[in-house]
Amino acid sequence: MSDKRMTEAQVVAQLQDGMTLGIGGWGSRRKPMSLVRAIAASDLKDLTIVSYGGPDVGLLCKTGKIKRLIFAFVSLDSIALEPHFRAARQAGEIEITELDEGMFLQGLRAAGWGMPFLPTRAGLGSSVMTPELKTLICPYTGQEVVAVPALKLDAALIHMHRADIRGNAQYLNDDPYFDDLFAMAADRTYLSTERIGLDDTCSHRYLINRMMVTGVVEAPGGAWFTDCSPDYPRDEALQRRYAATAKDPDAWRAFAAEFLGAST
């Protein structure tokens, strides 16, 4: 039996500048925040981040880790716009590729299935259609479709409610948030979990197979301050404090020292 337990620092040590990293979760829900914080506090740089974005994206924007962002949205849920992401985008500090949510999903599926692209009608006739996105004509129906390129990931970071030491993992809420697709799209997957030990009463919520997983980090509170129900809700007070730091450099420095262990 393979024991894949690691620490956040060991995960970061296996990552490299310029990598394409997928981050699971959805908005400000079940994000692998202990891993994100470790990256934010590290020397990593020039990353391409692929995410249904939340504070993971904002923190990595603010700490200068992102070169390019591929995203469907970036939201804090109860706060509609992620302020650190917005500031970075408005300042032109990051390259961006914005996809419709369905296009993003197809990109993950294509990577997981080993396909160069998958077709969709989502995005046609919208401003999402940039020159880098190509269309083609369906040979069966003659319809024009978008050829969404595979979102191939060097590594995926996901957070699950329960896992065993081999990497089998469960979600206990009502939504898997496509974390399995991130894992399938990645060469390596690092999984943080609230607790080592599977819940036998929720066998129908197994989502992640050990064959997908490179490392397992036991991280109680590892998704905090995002929502990780039923283990804990989103910390709305801390999220509001985090959002407010986008307009107050002194507040950011205090927050970073507390939340990231950083001096600036």
Residue ranges of domains in the chain, CATH in brackets: 8-118+151-256 (3.40.1080.10)
- Residue-level pLDDT at 123: 87
pLDDT in tens, 86-102: 999 999 999 999 999 99
pLDDT in tens, 133-173: 999 999 999 999 999 999 999 999 999 999 999 999 999 99
Percentage above 70 pLDDT, the chain: 98
**What φ, ψ does residue 100 adopt, rounded to 5°?**
-60, 150
